[in-house]
Structure 1
Amino acid sequence: MKKTTLTAAMLLTAGWMVGAQAGVDPLTQIEAPSSEWIYNGTEPDYIVDVPSFTVPATGVIDYIDSVIPLEFGEEKWVKAVQFIPGDKRVLHHLLSYVVADTEKSEGMIDEAVNDPRREFLEGYAPGKEYATEFPAGTGIKVPEGSALRMSIHYTSFGQESVDNTRVGLWFYDEGQEPDLEYHTYSVSPGNRTENIIIPPGAMEHEMAATHVFDKDIVLHGFRAHMHYRGKSMAARVIYPDNTQEKIINIPDYNFAWQPTYRMDEPMVIPAGSRVVVEGLFDNSEYNPGNPDPTVPALGGLQSWEEMFIGYFSYTDLP
């Protein structure tokens, strides 16, 4: 898998060189998007308004669990989705799932648990600024009578703010539904305190999690998720014959940049293969983002706690 993104420094350097040669400030050549909705030059077919929430200036905010009926009156297939935060300063992240409209909201969603009663749609996290388009011929099925269940994490920053986030959905046209459903599976040791304990001062604390796929799949993408002490994450696959292959290496994990990495060429992973997610945490004073290097970092939901999740996005093998 190739990491195709460019860093801001690389872009600025390239722009400066072109500008120096042409005598033109490259920043003047950048055109702002004509619409806040950035997918194929079109407005969404449907917009979900996330319930308005007032984030206080200080304090810890419990996760918000919201269920919004999707009253389409028929089955739909989502081909692209985009999140527009009401206030990026307070919206830490948002995860959305397609569930039956009859499902009751029972406590907060555990991101590390793969519940068969829900289908992961997509999520918002720092660095995810544009619409997510699912691979050609794939999509997320929304059966008639579904709802969108969202787990929303807000953080205070010293000033009261009102968030009005929106979710835009683009559908396949009737009669053009894809053949394959797009799925996402989270691989994690769990997010509870007993699952993650990082000693104070540890610069390269190792962690790993595994999962065996019991059917043939086609892997399309991967997303890493840790918090402020996350340093690196990699994934590999061990095939049934014990041969191995690298999937991705993220050597410099950044909490402020959490995109889904899409594979240039989808990877076939046969049934019985084991995927392994491995990573490092930096709980030392040399990590400028570390909330407190003098205490153990424990697993939990809040940003000053820690998570370790590798998200595998795939379809069944046709």
Structure 2
Amino acid sequence: MKKTSLTAAMLLASSWAVVADAGVDPLTQIQPPQSEWQYNGAEPDVVIDVPSFTVPATGVIDYIDSVIPLEFGEEKWVKAVQFIPGDKRVLHHLLSYVVADEPQEEGMIDEAVNDPRREFLEGYAPGKEYATEFPEGTGIRVPEDSALRMSIHYTSFGQETVDNTRVGLWFYEDEEEPNLEFHTYSVSPGNRTENIVIPPGAMEHEMAATHVFEEDILLYGFRAHMHYRGKSMAARVIYPDNTQEDIINVANYNFAWQPTYRMDEPMVIPAGSRVVVEGLFDNSEYNPGVPDPTVTAYGGLQSWEEMFIGYFSYTDLPSE
């Protein structure tokens, strides 16, 4: 997966040491970004206002299903997207999808279900303060007469507040439209009560899910998603000739840190290959995030329940 360079961090630490030796607090030398939008210093081509929502001071809040028509008048290709929450204290996460601008089915979006009628755009979770740029030559296609459908999860924190989240979109110019559509596929056993059952006190409860890709793909990244009991998640691929290769190992999963890990180079996954997602849950007293280690944990939408999803980011393999 994508390697992290220490060079910039080491240079920054060195420069801070010089400043500190001069008797200056290095924190005073940090310059805030000139814009809240974090893609190449440019304002988005379009800013979408998510409908305001009043979050009560207490209580469990059902997921909000919001559909916003995208009145672009023509097909567009998204090359970058960013979410700016109105109130970070209450916006637990959101997922966004491109759908047809027509009446949508009732009910909440199930994150574990891959519905061909929608295309995943991007998601937001705490700590994601940056714009997501899709790999060069790829993007999210937004057909004419589309809408943005969002599944939004709010949590109360003891004070009533109003959230006004915004979505920024940057488009490819007409003459530079990409050749490859960027996709995301979720691999999961399902998030319903019967799919995830974690015994009380279990320190390393195992879980796995698999999927066979029927077409050749280029794998660009992976994101692990579990809740408070998530301990680790790994992904590997079993090729048609039964040889195997590791994709990623998130050995110390953290619910508060759920990035999409991008690969240095995209990985070719030939048709007929099976990807396997394996993970561990810790429902014991030794996990400080567990609400109650004496009870069985089940799958569900809320954070005190559990999920197990591996998100694979990919494109079709381009023809030579």
Residue 17 of structure 2 corresponds to residue 20 of structure 1 = yes
Match of 2:196 in 1: 196
What are the equivalent positions in structure 2 for 1:214-293 lying under 5 Å apart?
A: 214-293=214-293
SS in 2 for 1:168: strand
**Amino acid paired to 1:249:** N
Offset of residue 128 of structure 1? 1.4
Label 1:200 to 1:156 Cα distance change in 2 as closer, same or farther (>3 A).
same
SS in 1 for 2:174: coil
Offset of residue 115 of structure 1? 0.2
Offset of residue 20 of structure 1? 3.2
CA deviation vs aligned residue, 1:264-295 (integer Å, no higher than 9, x gap): 11100000000001111110111111111110
Measured in 1, the distance between the counterparts of 2:203 and 2:3 equals 25
What are the equivalent positions in structure 2 for 1:154-193 lying under 5 Å apart?
A: 154-193=154-193
Structure 2: where are the runs of 5+ without partners? none
Offset of residue 175 of structure 1? 1.9
**Quick check: 1:3–1:261 contact (8 Å CA) kept in 2?**
no
TM-score by length of 1: 0.95
Offset of residue 16 of structure 1? 5.4
Offset of residue 3 of structure 1? 4.9
**Amino acid paired to 1:83:** F
Measured in 2, the distance between the counterparts of 1:184 and 1:295 equals 34
SS in 1 for 2:16: helix
Count, aligned residues: 314
Structure 1: where are the runs of 5+ without partners? none
SS in 2 for 1:175: helix
Match of 1:30 in 2: 30
Offset of residue 106 of structure 1? 1.5
TM-score by length of 2: 0.95
Match of 1:39 in 2: 39
**Quick check: 2:220–2:267 contact (8 Å CA) kept in 1?**
yes
Percent of aligned pairs with the same amino acid: 85
Offset of residue 308 of structure 1? 0.3
Offset of residue 21 of structure 1? 4.6
SS in 2 for 1:27: helix
**Quick check: 2:196–2:307 contact (8 Å CA) kept in 1?**
yes
Q: CA RMSD in A?
A: 1.6
Label 1:191 to 1:3 Cα distance change in 2 as closer, same or farther (>3 A).
farther
Offset of residue 201 of structure 1? 0.6
**Amino acid paired to 1:20:** A
